[in-house]
Amino acid sequence: MDSQQDGGVPIDAIDEVTYWSIVWGQFKKNKLAYGGFWATIGLVALAIYAPVIVLERPFYISYANAEGVSVTEFPWFWSLFDRLLFENGIDVFFNILLVASPLAILSGFVIARMAKGNPVKIRSKLWRRLVGTWLVLLVVVTVVVSLNPSSYPFVDYRDIYAQGVAQSELAKVTGKEATQIPSAIFPPVAQSFRNAELSEVLVDAGGNHLLGTDNRGRDVFARMIYGTRIALTIGVVAVSIYLFIGVILGALAGFFAGKVDMAVLRLIEIMRCFPTLLLIMTLVAFVDDPTIWHVMLIIGVVRWTGPARLVRGEFLKLRGEDFVAAAVASGVPQWRVIFRHVLPNALSPVLVNATFGVAVCILIEATLSFLGLGDASAPSWGETLNIGKQNGELIMILAPGFAIFITVSLLNLVGEGLRDALDPKLRR
């Protein structure tokens, strides 16, 4: 017989209830936030699998070369690691994630089967180890690939395929025997997000270019799809940087108080004296050739004051609690008390701030790119919007504007739902 409490509730069932399971249950009751969460997951999947949707390299192609020899190639896979095509480190990371995703999903199923029937603490530990291991592997592989760039000779497979088909059709008309009828499987949109086609500048939407081309002949739809990678990475990395700075400074200020608190508060006040966007623009302007990494670092360094104030307030409230006094009296090192005992109880408002912060960072990056202060090599939505404004192209104004609006709105919905779920007073 299962052991039960006085109320008749199995103890094992109570053990399955954790703080985050309660929060998740409350979050799912907010239909808009829950839908926004899965739509955001869809944006992440779109960023990961962008080359499957849009790329000018075929998955498979078979044709006859200039000597008439039959050639079969699979250029799509190798192009994922071609630094001449994907020169941005963000694309390298997402392409590695694309290749590793089947193994990651498979390992997730294995962990799910292993964890089935175990207590919630063991399941959580297994999942944390799996996610941590994959993150470390992805970062290490990305660094190795970035430090050892590989490039391949440029081959216009679309032109080869088109010429092969044209020759085959001509051979049928003239009654000659075709050397080889080419066959190929291209992604649904066989266009490049960065290769300029000067013969196709400002082409109207339709045909081979769903949203037309920009003033350099680059496909706008392709740049919109790959711009998802830039937007999400900017948000996540910049927020991670300023959370790291803000949480540490806020924790030290709130726990030690006194002179430490005063020094951190004065630093916060100095940073908040300057308009955030103006300060970011000024710092970016000092960089000769700003890259997407410069933009993320500058945003992270400037916006840490918000999380610092939140964490400081939570620490000031929690530092007098009995569990903190007991930990200090037990001789636990101060760093362990701060980061192991107090900090986990002070992170709820920080998580909400981070969710809204991702949306804000996306807007800031789009603003910088719109003003010409972003990374010129990155397919930013802000840059596309600027080109559309300069050339009076309505579709190039509406497409990135709509993408920014949808992304920011979804993140704000998730942030509002998370805020309500973490507030005990609003639980239903």
Domains of the chain by residue range: 1-47+197-428
- pLDDT per residue over 259-304, tens digit each? 999 999 999 999 888 888 888 888 888 888 888 888 899 998 999 9
Measured CA to CA, the distance from residue 385 to residue 205 in angstroms comes to: 16
Cα atoms in the Cβ-side hemisphere of radius 13 Å centred on 164: 22
- Spell out, as residue ranges, where the chain has pLDDT lower than 70: 1-17, 171-180, 424-428
Tell the residue number behind the tokens 């006085």, with chain if given: 6
CA dihedral 171, 176, 177, 178 (to 10 degrees): -20
The pTM (predicted TM-score) of the whole model is: 0.87
* Backbone torsions φ then ψ of 176, nearest 5 degrees: -85, 160
Q: Are strands 70-73 and 183-185 parallel, antiparallel or unpaired?
A: unpaired
| Per-residue tokens: 80 | 């994922």
Tell the residue number behind the tokens 């086609």, with chain if given: 197
The interaxial angle of helices 89-115 and 31-48, nearest 10 deg, is 120
Measured CA to CA, the distance from residue 90 to residue 377 in angstroms comes to: 12
Measured CA to CA, the distance from residue 229 to residue 226 in angstroms comes to: 6
- pLDDT per residue over 323-339, tens digit each? 888 888 888 888 888 88
Q: Return the CATH class of domain 1-47+197-428.
A: mainly alpha
Tell the residue number behind the tokens 């924790």, with chain if given: 251
Following DSSP, what letter does each residue of 241-257 receive, concatenated?
HHHHHHHHHHHHHHHH-
* Backbone torsions φ then ψ of 61, nearest 5 degrees: -150, 140
